[in-house]
Amino acid sequence: MLSKFDDYPIHQTVEPVFHTASSDRFQYDRFWYNAHDRNGEFYFGVGLCRYPNLGVVDCSLSLAIGGRQYAFHGSRRAPHEPTDLSVGPWNLQILEPMGRHQLTIGKNETGIECDLIFTPRSSCIEEGRQTLRNERHVVMDATRLDQFGFWSGWIQYDGKRLEVNGATTFGLKDRSWGIRPVGDAYTGGAPLAEFQALHFNWVPIHWEDECSLAGWFEDAQGHQWHTDQCFLPHYPSQEDIPGTNDPGSRVWQGKVEHQLQMIPGTRRANSAVITMNDKSGQSLEISLEPVLVHRMKGLGYQHPEWGHGKWHGELAIAGESWTESDLDPLSLENLHVQQIVIARCGDKVGHGVLEQLHIGPSTNYGFDDWFDGAK
Protein backbone atom coordinates (compact mmCIF):
# COMPACT_ATOMS: atom_id res chain seq x y z
CA MET A 1 0.00 0.00 0.00
CA LEU A 2 1.60 3.29 -1.12
CA SER A 3 1.16 6.67 0.59
CA LYS A 4 2.41 10.22 0.03
CA PHE A 5 5.34 9.55 2.35
CA ASP A 6 6.76 7.04 -0.14
CA ASP A 7 7.82 9.94 -2.36
CA TYR A 8 10.33 11.01 0.31
CA PRO A 9 13.67 9.31 1.09
CA ILE A 10 12.59 8.14 4.54
CA HIS A 11 12.23 4.35 4.25
CA GLN A 12 13.59 2.19 7.07
CA THR A 13 12.50 -1.19 5.67
CA VAL A 14 11.87 -2.62 2.20
CA GLU A 15 8.10 -2.15 2.77
CA PRO A 16 6.18 1.02 1.83
CA VAL A 17 5.87 3.40 4.81
CA PHE A 18 2.21 2.41 5.28
CA HIS A 19 3.32 -1.01 6.58
CA THR A 20 4.78 -0.90 10.08
CA ALA A 21 7.99 -2.76 10.87
CA SER A 22 6.32 -4.40 13.89
CA SER A 23 3.21 -6.58 13.87
CA ASP A 24 2.57 -5.84 17.55
CA ARG A 25 -1.09 -4.88 17.95
CA PHE A 26 -0.07 -2.14 20.40
CA GLN A 27 1.92 -0.17 17.80
CA TYR A 28 0.94 3.53 17.94
CA ASP A 29 1.91 6.94 16.53
CA ARG A 30 0.58 9.85 18.59
CA PHE A 31 0.24 13.63 18.40
CA TRP A 32 -0.35 15.13 21.85
CA TYR A 33 -0.43 18.75 23.02
CA ASN A 34 -1.27 20.72 26.14
CA ALA A 35 -2.07 24.37 26.76
CA HIS A 36 -2.41 26.38 29.97
CA ASP A 37 -3.27 29.96 30.74
CA ARG A 38 -0.65 32.03 32.58
CA ASN A 39 -3.15 32.82 35.35
CA GLY A 40 -4.34 29.22 35.66
CA GLU A 41 -7.87 29.97 34.45
CA PHE A 42 -8.01 27.16 31.89
CA TYR A 43 -6.19 24.14 30.53
CA PHE A 44 -6.82 22.23 27.34
CA GLY A 45 -5.27 19.13 25.86
CA VAL A 46 -5.31 17.73 22.33
CA GLY A 47 -4.59 14.19 21.17
CA LEU A 48 -4.70 12.24 17.92
CA CYS A 49 -3.29 8.78 17.39
CA ARG A 50 -3.01 6.25 14.58
CA TYR A 51 -2.92 2.55 15.53
CA PRO A 52 -1.75 0.96 12.27
CA ASN A 53 -2.18 -2.66 13.32
CA LEU A 54 -5.64 -2.02 14.81
CA GLY A 55 -6.84 0.00 11.81
CA VAL A 56 -8.08 2.83 14.05
CA VAL A 57 -7.47 6.59 14.35
CA ASP A 58 -8.90 8.41 17.38
CA CYS A 59 -8.76 11.97 18.71
CA SER A 60 -9.84 14.16 21.62
CA LEU A 61 -9.95 17.79 22.73
CA SER A 62 -10.46 18.37 26.45
CA LEU A 63 -10.94 21.71 28.24
CA ALA A 64 -10.89 22.32 32.02
CA ILE A 65 -12.34 25.67 33.06
CA GLY A 66 -14.48 27.04 35.89
CA GLY A 67 -14.55 23.78 37.87
CA ARG A 68 -15.85 21.75 34.92
CA GLN A 69 -14.22 19.73 32.18
CA TYR A 70 -15.50 19.32 28.61
CA ALA A 71 -14.34 16.73 26.09
CA PHE A 72 -14.77 16.02 22.38
CA HIS A 73 -14.00 12.45 21.29
CA GLY A 74 -13.74 11.07 17.77
CA SER A 75 -12.81 7.76 16.16
CA ARG A 76 -12.72 6.33 12.65
CA ARG A 77 -11.33 3.52 10.56
CA ALA A 78 -7.71 4.45 9.82
CA PRO A 79 -7.44 5.83 6.27
CA HIS A 80 -4.94 4.32 3.85
CA GLU A 81 -3.20 7.72 3.65
CA PRO A 82 -1.27 8.37 6.93
CA THR A 83 -1.10 12.11 6.19
CA ASP A 84 -4.91 12.31 6.52
CA LEU A 85 -5.36 13.56 10.12
CA SER A 86 -9.11 14.19 9.92
CA VAL A 87 -11.87 12.53 11.95
CA GLY A 88 -15.29 13.80 10.89
CA PRO A 89 -15.38 17.54 11.80
CA TRP A 90 -11.85 17.31 13.27
CA ASN A 91 -8.80 18.23 11.19
CA LEU A 92 -5.20 18.45 12.39
CA GLN A 93 -2.71 20.06 10.01
CA ILE A 94 1.09 20.23 10.17
CA LEU A 95 1.62 23.70 8.73
CA GLU A 96 5.39 23.34 9.02
CA PRO A 97 7.26 20.24 10.27
CA MET A 98 8.56 21.01 13.76
CA GLY A 99 6.81 24.38 13.32
CA ARG A 100 3.20 25.51 13.52
CA HIS A 101 0.36 23.00 13.81
CA GLN A 102 -3.35 23.84 13.46
CA LEU A 103 -6.42 22.10 14.86
CA THR A 104 -9.93 22.88 13.65
CA ILE A 105 -13.17 21.26 14.76
CA GLY A 106 -16.14 22.32 12.64
CA LYS A 107 -19.79 22.49 13.63
CA ASN A 108 -21.04 19.21 15.07
CA GLU A 109 -23.62 17.83 17.48
CA THR A 110 -21.32 18.01 20.55
CA GLY A 111 -21.33 21.84 20.52
CA ILE A 112 -17.52 21.80 20.85
CA GLU A 113 -15.69 23.63 18.04
CA CYS A 114 -12.28 25.29 17.73
CA ASP A 115 -9.66 26.91 15.56
CA LEU A 116 -6.29 26.72 17.32
CA ILE A 117 -2.68 27.21 16.23
CA PHE A 118 0.39 25.98 18.10
CA THR A 119 3.51 28.09 17.44
CA PRO A 120 6.85 26.83 18.82
CA ARG A 121 9.15 28.87 21.05
CA SER A 122 11.89 26.20 21.31
CA SER A 123 13.54 23.56 19.20
CA CYS A 124 12.54 19.90 19.53
CA ILE A 125 14.32 17.53 21.87
CA GLU A 126 14.28 13.74 21.89
CA GLU A 127 13.53 12.06 25.20
CA GLY A 128 15.32 8.81 26.02
CA ARG A 129 13.81 5.60 24.69
CA GLN A 130 11.25 4.26 27.17
CA THR A 131 11.30 0.47 27.43
CA LEU A 132 9.42 -1.64 29.96
CA ARG A 133 9.00 -5.44 29.99
CA ASN A 134 6.93 -7.77 32.09
CA GLU A 135 7.85 -11.42 32.67
CA ARG A 136 6.93 -12.38 29.09
CA HIS A 137 6.89 -9.52 26.61
CA VAL A 138 7.54 -5.83 25.94
CA VAL A 139 4.88 -3.63 27.58
CA MET A 140 6.21 -0.30 26.35
CA ASP A 141 8.92 0.66 23.88
CA ALA A 142 8.53 4.25 22.73
CA THR A 143 10.40 7.30 21.47
CA ARG A 144 9.19 10.81 22.25
CA LEU A 145 10.02 14.35 21.14
CA ASP A 146 8.99 17.53 22.94
CA GLN A 147 8.68 21.12 21.73
CA PHE A 148 7.54 24.11 23.78
CA GLY A 149 5.36 26.87 22.36
CA PHE A 150 2.28 29.10 22.55
CA TRP A 151 -1.36 28.66 21.49
CA SER A 152 -3.72 31.14 19.87
CA GLY A 153 -7.27 30.95 18.53
CA TRP A 154 -10.61 30.06 20.10
CA ILE A 155 -12.71 27.21 21.51
CA GLN A 156 -16.52 27.06 21.48
CA TYR A 157 -18.06 24.97 24.29
CA ASP A 158 -21.35 24.82 26.20
CA GLY A 159 -22.64 27.87 24.29
CA LYS A 160 -19.59 29.92 25.33
CA ARG A 161 -16.51 31.06 23.44
CA LEU A 162 -13.01 31.00 24.95
CA GLU A 163 -10.50 33.35 23.30
CA VAL A 164 -7.01 31.83 23.49
CA ASN A 165 -4.39 34.58 23.77
CA GLY A 166 -1.16 33.70 21.98
CA ALA A 167 0.94 35.79 24.38
CA THR A 168 -0.32 34.22 27.62
CA THR A 169 -1.25 30.63 26.71
CA PHE A 170 1.76 28.35 27.13
CA GLY A 171 1.91 24.84 25.76
CA LEU A 172 3.87 21.88 24.59
CA LYS A 173 3.82 19.45 21.64
CA ASP A 174 4.58 15.85 22.48
CA ARG A 175 5.06 13.36 19.60
CA SER A 176 5.56 9.73 20.52
CA TRP A 177 5.54 6.43 18.67
CA GLY A 178 6.33 2.77 19.20
CA ILE A 179 4.57 0.24 21.41
CA ARG A 180 2.29 1.07 24.35
CA PRO A 181 -0.80 -0.75 25.69
CA VAL A 182 -3.78 0.48 23.63
CA GLY A 183 -7.11 -1.00 22.64
CA ASP A 184 -8.17 -4.33 24.13
CA ALA A 185 -5.66 -6.35 26.12
CA TYR A 186 -4.22 -9.61 24.85
CA THR A 187 -6.42 -12.59 25.64
CA GLY A 188 -5.61 -16.25 26.24
CA GLY A 189 -2.51 -17.89 27.58
CA ALA A 190 -1.40 -18.29 31.17
CA PRO A 191 -2.17 -15.33 33.44
CA LEU A 192 0.77 -13.19 34.45
CA ALA A 193 2.15 -13.90 37.91
CA GLU A 194 1.73 -10.26 38.93
CA PHE A 195 1.11 -6.79 37.57
CA GLN A 196 3.74 -4.07 37.75
CA ALA A 197 3.18 -0.91 39.76
CA LEU A 198 3.66 2.25 37.68
CA HIS A 199 4.45 5.70 39.06
CA PHE A 200 4.95 8.42 36.45
CA ASN A 201 5.64 12.14 36.88
CA TRP A 202 6.34 14.67 34.12
CA VAL A 203 7.12 18.38 34.63
CA PRO A 204 7.58 20.69 31.59
CA ILE A 205 8.07 24.33 32.64
CA HIS A 206 8.18 27.60 30.66
CA TRP A 207 10.63 30.07 32.23
CA GLU A 208 11.28 33.60 30.99
CA ASP A 209 14.50 32.72 29.13
CA GLU A 210 14.32 28.94 28.68
CA CYS A 211 12.18 25.83 29.07
CA SER A 212 12.92 22.84 31.29
CA LEU A 213 11.62 19.28 31.41
CA ALA A 214 11.89 16.64 34.11
CA GLY A 215 10.19 13.26 33.86
CA TRP A 216 10.60 9.96 35.65
CA PHE A 217 9.12 6.47 35.99
CA GLU A 218 9.39 4.58 39.27
CA ASP A 219 8.48 1.07 40.38
CA ALA A 220 6.89 0.06 43.68
CA GLN A 221 10.25 0.18 45.49
CA GLY A 222 11.06 3.69 44.27
CA HIS A 223 13.62 2.64 41.65
CA GLN A 224 13.68 5.15 38.78
CA TRP A 225 13.93 2.93 35.71
CA HIS A 226 13.68 5.90 33.35
CA THR A 227 14.35 9.64 33.67
CA ASP A 228 14.42 12.63 31.31
CA GLN A 229 15.95 16.01 32.14
CA CYS A 230 16.63 18.78 29.65
CA PHE A 231 16.78 22.54 29.10
CA LEU A 232 15.92 24.38 25.87
CA PRO A 233 16.50 28.07 25.02
CA HIS A 234 13.47 30.26 24.33
CA TYR A 235 13.57 31.94 20.90
CA PRO A 236 11.69 35.15 20.03
CA SER A 237 10.17 33.74 16.82
CA GLN A 238 9.83 30.48 14.94
CA GLU A 239 12.28 31.74 12.30
CA ASP A 240 15.01 32.03 14.96
CA ILE A 241 14.75 28.39 16.10
CA PRO A 242 17.91 26.61 14.84
CA GLY A 243 16.29 23.24 14.07
CA THR A 244 16.85 19.75 15.40
CA ASN A 245 20.47 20.27 16.51
CA ASP A 246 20.08 23.20 18.87
CA PRO A 247 23.51 24.14 20.27
CA GLY A 248 21.81 25.77 23.25
CA SER A 249 19.99 22.66 24.45
CA ARG A 250 21.29 20.72 27.45
CA VAL A 251 20.48 17.17 28.52
CA TRP A 252 21.10 16.04 32.09
CA GLN A 253 21.55 12.47 33.23
CA GLY A 254 20.78 11.57 36.81
CA LYS A 255 18.07 10.87 39.36
CA VAL A 256 15.21 13.31 39.91
CA GLU A 257 14.74 13.74 43.65
CA HIS A 258 11.24 14.69 44.72
CA GLN A 259 9.04 15.53 47.67
CA LEU A 260 5.38 15.38 46.68
CA GLN A 261 2.83 16.27 49.32
CA MET A 262 -0.34 14.40 48.39
CA ILE A 263 -3.89 15.54 49.04
CA PRO A 264 -5.24 13.09 51.66
CA GLY A 265 -7.52 10.46 50.15
CA THR A 266 -6.09 10.98 46.62
CA ARG A 267 -3.05 10.20 44.49
CA ARG A 268 -2.58 13.83 43.48
CA ALA A 269 -0.08 16.40 44.83
CA ASN A 270 -1.07 19.69 46.45
CA SER A 271 2.58 20.82 46.47
CA ALA A 272 5.90 19.49 45.28
CA VAL A 273 9.63 20.13 45.34
CA ILE A 274 11.76 18.42 42.70
CA THR A 275 15.53 18.47 42.36
CA MET A 276 17.02 17.84 38.94
CA ASN A 277 20.50 16.28 39.11
CA ASP A 278 23.17 15.80 36.45
CA LYS A 279 26.07 13.33 36.59
CA SER A 280 28.37 16.38 36.42
CA GLY A 281 27.26 17.31 39.94
CA GLN A 282 24.99 20.17 38.90
CA SER A 283 21.55 20.32 40.52
CA LEU A 284 18.48 22.55 40.37
CA GLU A 285 15.66 22.69 42.92
CA ILE A 286 12.17 23.68 41.72
CA SER A 287 9.06 24.12 43.86
CA LEU A 288 5.62 23.58 42.32
CA GLU A 289 2.27 25.07 43.34
CA PRO A 290 -0.75 23.44 41.60
CA VAL A 291 -3.59 25.79 40.67
CA LEU A 292 -5.93 23.78 38.38
CA VAL A 293 -6.48 20.08 37.65
CA HIS A 294 -7.26 18.40 34.31
CA ARG A 295 -8.30 14.74 34.21
CA MET A 296 -6.51 12.95 31.39
CA LYS A 297 -9.52 10.73 30.75
CA GLY A 298 -10.77 13.72 28.74
CA LEU A 299 -8.07 12.72 26.23
CA GLY A 300 -8.91 9.02 26.38
CA TYR A 301 -6.43 7.87 29.04
CA GLN A 302 -8.08 5.10 31.09
CA HIS A 303 -11.46 6.25 29.77
CA PRO A 304 -13.98 3.39 30.17
CA GLU A 305 -15.62 4.10 26.79
CA TRP A 306 -13.24 6.31 24.79
CA GLY A 307 -9.99 4.61 25.77
CA HIS A 308 -7.22 4.65 23.20
CA GLY A 309 -7.44 2.37 20.18
CA LYS A 310 -10.97 1.11 20.73
CA TRP A 311 -13.16 0.35 17.72
CA HIS A 312 -16.30 2.53 17.55
CA GLY A 313 -17.23 1.87 13.93
CA GLU A 314 -16.43 3.61 10.65
CA LEU A 315 -16.88 7.08 12.21
CA ALA A 316 -18.10 8.14 15.64
CA ILE A 317 -17.95 11.36 17.65
CA ALA A 318 -19.23 12.24 21.11
CA GLY A 319 -19.06 14.99 23.71
CA GLU A 320 -19.20 14.90 27.49
CA SER A 321 -18.63 17.11 30.53
CA TRP A 322 -18.43 16.74 34.29
CA THR A 323 -17.93 18.75 37.46
CA GLU A 324 -14.52 18.17 39.02
CA SER A 325 -15.81 18.13 42.62
CA ASP A 326 -18.23 15.28 41.79
CA LEU A 327 -15.51 12.79 40.78
CA ASP A 328 -14.14 9.89 42.80
CA PRO A 329 -10.41 10.72 42.85
CA LEU A 330 -9.40 7.07 43.38
CA SER A 331 -11.36 5.62 40.47
CA LEU A 332 -8.95 4.25 37.84
CA GLU A 333 -10.26 6.61 35.16
CA ASN A 334 -9.56 9.63 37.39
CA LEU A 335 -6.03 8.81 38.60
CA HIS A 336 -4.17 10.26 35.61
CA VAL A 337 -3.98 14.06 35.86
CA GLN A 338 -2.13 17.11 34.66
CA GLN A 339 -2.20 20.15 36.94
CA ILE A 340 -1.27 23.68 35.96
CA VAL A 341 1.54 24.74 38.30
CA ILE A 342 3.39 27.89 39.22
CA ALA A 343 7.09 26.97 39.40
CA ARG A 344 9.74 28.77 41.44
CA CYS A 345 13.51 28.36 41.32
CA GLY A 346 15.31 30.98 43.38
CA ASP A 347 14.05 34.32 42.08
CA LYS A 348 12.74 32.80 38.85
CA VAL A 349 9.02 32.14 38.30
CA GLY A 350 7.79 29.73 35.64
CA HIS A 351 4.54 28.27 34.34
CA GLY A 352 3.96 24.64 33.48
CA VAL A 353 2.27 21.42 34.44
CA LEU A 354 2.76 18.51 36.81
CA GLU A 355 1.52 15.25 35.33
CA GLN A 356 0.96 12.29 37.65
CA LEU A 357 -0.15 8.69 37.21
CA HIS A 358 0.21 6.44 40.24
CA ILE A 359 -1.07 2.87 39.98
CA GLY A 360 -0.09 0.34 42.62
CA PRO A 361 1.81 0.37 45.92
CA SER A 362 4.85 2.59 46.48
CA THR A 363 7.31 2.95 49.32
CA ASN A 364 8.24 6.44 48.08
CA TYR A 365 4.71 7.84 47.89
CA GLY A 366 3.27 5.93 50.85
CA PHE A 367 0.69 3.85 48.99
CA ASP A 368 0.07 0.40 50.48
CA ASP A 369 -2.23 -1.08 47.84
CA TRP A 370 -3.26 -0.60 44.21
CA PHE A 371 -5.83 2.16 44.63
CA ASP A 372 -5.60 3.49 48.19
CA GLY A 373 -5.27 7.21 48.82
CA ALA A 374 -2.65 9.22 50.66
CA LYS A 375 -2.94 9.20 54.44
Question: What would the DSSP string read from start to end of 60-83?
Answer: EEEEEETTEEEEEEEEEEPPS-TT
Q: What is the dihedral of CA 368, 369, 372, 374, to 10 degrees?
A: 20
Instruction: Give the pairing of strands 86-87 and 90-94.
Output: antiparallel
Q: Can you give the pLDDT at residue 182?
A: 86
| CATH number, domain containing residue 271 | 2.40.370.10
Question: What average pLDDT values come out for the chain (375 residues) when binned by 10 residues?
Answer: 89 89 92 97 98 97 98 97 96 96 98 98 94 86 96 98 97 96 82 85 97 97 96 94 90 97 97 98 98 98 97 98 98 98 98 98 94 96
Do the domain assignments include residue 89? Answer: yes
Closest CA to 345 of 198, 206, 147: 206
Rounded Cα distance, 155 and 162, in Å: 5
Closest CA to 155 of 94, 87, 104: 104
Tell me the residue range of the domain where 113 lies.
Answer: 4-184+196-359
Contact 89, 108 (CB under 8 A): yes
Do the domain assignments include residue 373? Answer: no
Do the domain assignments include residue 86? Answer: yes
Q: Can you give the pLDDT at residue 77?
A: 98
Q: Can you give the pLDDT at residue 124?
A: 96
Do the domain assignments include residue 320? Answer: yes
- Map residue 334 onto helix, strand or coil: helix
Closest CA to 71 of 299, 334, 293, 329: 299
Rounded Cα distance, 201 and 256, in Å: 10
Do the domain assignments include residue 83? Answer: yes
Burial of 91 (0-12, 13-18, 19+ CB in 10 A): middle
Residues 6+ apart with CB under 8 A from 151: 35, 116, 117, 118, 119, 164, 166, 169, 170, 171
**How many independent structural domains does the chain possess?**
1
- 360: phi > 0 → left, psi -120 to 50 → alpha, else beta; which? left
Residues 6+ apart with CB under 8 A from 187: none
Give tens-digit pLDDT for 145-194: 999 999 999 999 999 999 999 999 999 999 999 999 887 877 788 887 77
Give tens-digit pLDDT for 44-77: 999 999 999 999 999 999 999 999 999 999 999 9
Do the domain assignments include residue 374? Answer: no
Residue 17, amino acid: V
Q: Can you give the pLDDT at residue 185?
A: 78
Do the domain assignments include residue 368? Answer: no
Do the domain assignments include residue 364? Answer: no
Closest CA to 243 of 67, 355, 98, 36: 98
